[in-house]
Structure 1
């Protein structure tokens, strides 16, 4: 009798795990479809079908979005607010496009290691942009017409950060400590 309970427990646990993984993947699919709908591009991105893991420039591991590499593809549009729901995203490359609007908060994207938005038309960085980005190693913000901004306290806690590029991005130092932290 105890043997049957053990098998039943393993079966229920496996079903629960599968359901959680399915929901995580479904969430990634919804976010990527929103991203596709908010962008205009002059050439075919190879984003046909419903499975973003089969799209060109999108890289997945175990059905979770790991990398979005859309640099220099002549893309116009804005980013969906839901982008920070990609819980496994490690690389976000959007440089050299014509993306505009406000950058969105990336809070919650703990695995994010590298981000580049260089050479777009983003106008502002929210105060909570860097919240919780404990794995961030490199961020490139150059060449965007941001409103003047300073380094938020949350970025100072990104202990793995090696590169912060912000040339021509209207960065203004707000304290003497910032000279030694990020120069």
Structure 2
């Protein structure tokens, strides 16, 4: 287990799609539409990015962590993990209609998680290790392309359950919601019909109870991590129970 960011613990690493790396090199030639430029500016103001890397005099496609698609002049990735950011996420993020990766892991972001309506091309939603205070029931209703979701270590969320709309995300291969106040019986939405290619499901350190019918789980599932509730450890930081890899 590896510690990342103040007060949060992380298991493993997430690899961002390689294709985004090329945009970081050639972003100087991109020019965002006025609408998308306004969204990125609002994101800067909402998160109080003031370290000089998001200079308002520079092309926003040259800002650190902002990855643009040159032909389409649009944002493909916002990758600002471990930037030591505080503040909140603006609802206008849903206007980045070509966004494929949204990664704000390991910051101190608070407030509601936006419903991201409009992000119909989103592949990765990675918001681990923050302090979000609410999650919309429609969070997954508009993101059919999602392949990887990680909500770990958001302990200030009120008790919530996996929304039924997650079944729209049939391309999921990885779903992790460790220590984020999930409550109730094991989510019935995680079955073979809804998620035919799901490989990893991590729900440790929540308040999930009841029986799990292994026969209903996705046949593709390789790793299932679940425990009854959070436990204390690592200097007071909540940590999940050990979860060895299991094959089904």
**Between 33-42 and 159-168, the greater mean CA deviation after superposition:** 33-42
Aligned CA-pair RMSD: 2.1
Distance in 1 (alpha carbons) for counterparts of 2:87 and 2:147: 26
In the superposition, the TM-score normalised over structure 2's length comes to 0.60
8 A Cα contact 1:65 1:88, kept in partner = yes
The one-character-per-residue Cα deviations of 1:82-138 (angstroms, maximum 9, x if unpaired) are: 011100000001000010001010122111000111110101110111112011001
Higher relative contact order (CA 8 A, sep 6+): 1
Which residue of structure 2 lines up, in the alignment, with residue 71 of structure 1?
81
Which residue of structure 1 lines up, in the alignment, with residue 37 of structure 2?
29
Q: Which sections of structure 1, spanning at least 5 residues, go unmatched?
A: 1-21
8 A Cα contact 1:48 1:55, kept in partner = no
The one-character-per-residue Cα deviations of 1:51-107 (angstroms, maximum 9, x if unpaired) are: 311211100002100000100010011111101110000000100001000101012
If you compute each CA radius of gyration, which structure gives the higher value, 1 or 2? 1
Distance in 1 (alpha carbons) for counterparts of 2:111 and 2:184: 23
Structure 2 vs 1, CA of residues 167 and 175 (structure 1 numbering), >3 Å: closer, same or farther? Answer: closer
Which residue of structure 1 lines up, in the alignment, with residue 90 of structure 2?
80
Q: Which sections of structure 2, spanning at least 5 residues, go unmatched?
A: 1-30, 190-211, 225-248
Does residue 136 of the first structure (1) align with residue 146 of the second (2)?
Answer: yes
In the superposition, the TM-score normalised over structure 1's length comes to 0.80
Structure 2 vs 1, CA of residues 50 and 28 (structure 1 numbering), >3 Å: closer, same or farther? Answer: farther
Structure number having the greater helix percentage: 1
Question: 2:63 pairs with 55, 65, 68, which one?
Answer: 55
**Between 68-77 and 150-159, the greater mean CA deviation after superposition:** 150-159
Which residue of structure 2 lines up, in the alignment, with residue 14 of structure 1?
none
